[in-house]
């Protein structure tokens, strides 16, 4: 998809009304049919906007996007200033909703006419209504929450597609980052700004094609906090051997931690030491020492060895504490000669309750896109009976 910066001032509505006030969508016509519609409108003027009284024209952009446009100069209509990029996303969402056999319309308003809310796309099936808002410019989170509350008051579920990455991940306001791929827009499912995890490699996130995302959302395959429903996690702790403590117990020093679910593309809780960076604060997640205590208590190591707890003093003095006697050892670990200590299907309630603003909270409270069962093995988690929230 080409650059969209140049499209910001174009006036490109997708929708207008015919002489009987029935919606007309530009993308429902082939190129030849759209040309014929243009000729008919020039002759009879049968088309008009629902959004304002501006005169209407029909054209096709250099990128091939068929659209209507405002002929009246200086129109202050909201839809007059929509960018081509914005309209491409709206068109893709509407077509994906249709493919999922939902009724969908763009540029929809609340029924009262009081302009309480205005959705880019309104999708309906039976009594269920989902409004999609596409925001390519930055919008304060407080404003997004305010608009979401208006949807909620009218029994509409709001779904937000944002170009910005500074949004909160929560069930009350389903918000997802949007980017433009080569073939079609993509949606980030994993949390943005993955700063809670400490890793040696940058994580770009899991992104899904926009049409797959919409199809999942409309088929109850967009799941909130699946780890709570599953109630168990897989824990992998990497350790290195160290000399014996003064009390005589062999010590194993933690070097990396992974807490995950067996769900594809669900972002796990990850932590590692940072070799060569002794002055960088890196105390580890709250679950680290809780997991160390759990493993020492329920899964004894060979040769009476113990896994040490991680203790931070001051800003960045990281010490190793023997759980047997409490003695502290100062030692900068490396990740050479690691060994893996792993235990699967650990009940989630064996770990401390996650606190807001922590890696544990981010791990537990996130969205997950269910992968089609046909693409997974027989034992795949897509077969598990989860309560779906969207």
Q: What's the confidence (pLDDT) of residue 74?
A: 52
Calculate mean pLDDT across residues 120-138.
Answer: 93
pLDDT in tens, 193-250: 888 999 998 899 999 999 999 999 999 999 999 999 999 999 999 999 999 999 999 9
Q: How confident is the model over 97-117, as a mean pLDDT?
A: 82
Q: What are phi and psi of 221, to 5 degrees?
A: -110, 15
Q: What is the mean pLDDT of residues 346-375?
A: 89
Give the least confident one: 54-58, 306-310, 379-383.
379-383
Locus of tokens 């949004």: 167
Strand partners, 66: 60
272 φ, ψ (degrees, to nearest 5): -150, 155
pLDDT of residue 94 exceeding 60, the answer is yes
Worst-scoring range by mean pLDDT, 1-10, 108-117, 316-325, 349-358? Answer: 1-10
Q: What digits encode the pLDDT tens for the residues 148-160?
A: 999 999 999 999 9
* Maximum average pLDDT range among 43-47, 73-77, 194-198, 325-329: 325-329
Q: State yes or no: pLDDT of 82 exceeds 70.
A: no
> What average pLDDT does the chain have?
85
In the predicted model, is pLDDT for residue 386 greater than 50? Answer: no
CA distance linking residue 192 with residue 206, whole number of Å: 10
Asked if 207 and 154 count as a contact pair (C-beta separation under 8 A), the reply is no
In sign, the C-alpha dihedral spanning 36, 39, 45, 50 is: positive
- Greater pLDDT, 308 or 334: 308
Q: 234 is written with which tokens?
A: 């897989």
Nearest-angstrom CA–CA distance, 47 and 50:
10
Helices 84-99 and 210-218 cross at an angle (nearest 10°) of: 40
The pLDDT assigned to 75 comes to 56
Higher pLDDT, 3 or 219: 219
Per mean pLDDT, which range of 134-138, 141-145, 265-269, 385-389 is the poorest?
A: 385-389
């Amino acid at each position: 998809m080409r650059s969209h910066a140049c499209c910001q001032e174009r006036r490109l509505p997708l929708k207008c009304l015919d002489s009987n006030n029935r919606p007309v969508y530009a993308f429902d016509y082939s190129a030849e049919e759209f040309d014929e519609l243009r000729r008919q409108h020039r002759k009879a003027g049968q088309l008009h906007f629902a959004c304002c009284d501006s005169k209407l024209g029909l054209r096709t952009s250099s990128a091939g996007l068929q659209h209507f446009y405002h002929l009246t100069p200086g129109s202050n209509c909201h839809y007059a200033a929509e960018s081509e990029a914005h309209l491409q996303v709206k068109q893709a969402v509407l077509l994906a909703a249709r493919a999922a056999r939902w009724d969908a319309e763009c540029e929809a308003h609340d029924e009262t006419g009081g302009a309480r809310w205005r959705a880019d796309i309104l999708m309906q099936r039976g009594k269920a209504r989902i409004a999609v808002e596409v925001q390519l410019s930055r919008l304060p989170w407080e404003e997004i929450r305010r608009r979401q509350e208006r949807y909620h008051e009218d029994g509409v579920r709001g779904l937000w597609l944002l170009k910005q990455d500074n949004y909160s991940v929560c069930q009350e306001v389903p918000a997802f980052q949007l980017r433009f791929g080569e073939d079609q827009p993509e949606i980030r499912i994993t949390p943005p700004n993955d700063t809670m995890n400490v890793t040696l490699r940058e994580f770009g996130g899991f992104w899904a094609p926009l049409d797959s995302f919409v199809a999942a959302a409309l088929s109850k395959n967009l799941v909130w906090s699946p780890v709570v429903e599953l109630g168990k996690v897989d824990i992998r702790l990497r350790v290195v051997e160290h000399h014996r403590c003064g009390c005589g117990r062999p010590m194993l020093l933690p070097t990396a931690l992974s807490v995950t679910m067996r769900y594809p593309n669900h972002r796990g809780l990850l932590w590692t030491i940072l070799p060569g960076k002794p002055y960088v604060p890196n105390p580890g997640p709250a679950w680290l020492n809780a997991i160390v205590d759990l493993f020492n208590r329920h899964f004894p190591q060979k040769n009476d060895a113990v896994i040490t707890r991680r203790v931070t003093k001051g800003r960045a003095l990281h010490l190793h504490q023997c759980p047997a006697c409490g003695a502290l050892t100062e030692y900068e670990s490396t990740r050479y000669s690691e060994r893996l200590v792993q235990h699967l299907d650990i009940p989630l309630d064996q770990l401390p309750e996650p606190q807001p603003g922590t890696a544990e909270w981010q791990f537990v409270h996130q969205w997950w896109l269910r992968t089609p069962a046909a693409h997974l093995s027989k034992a795949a988690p897509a077969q598990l009976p989860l309560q779906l929230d969207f």
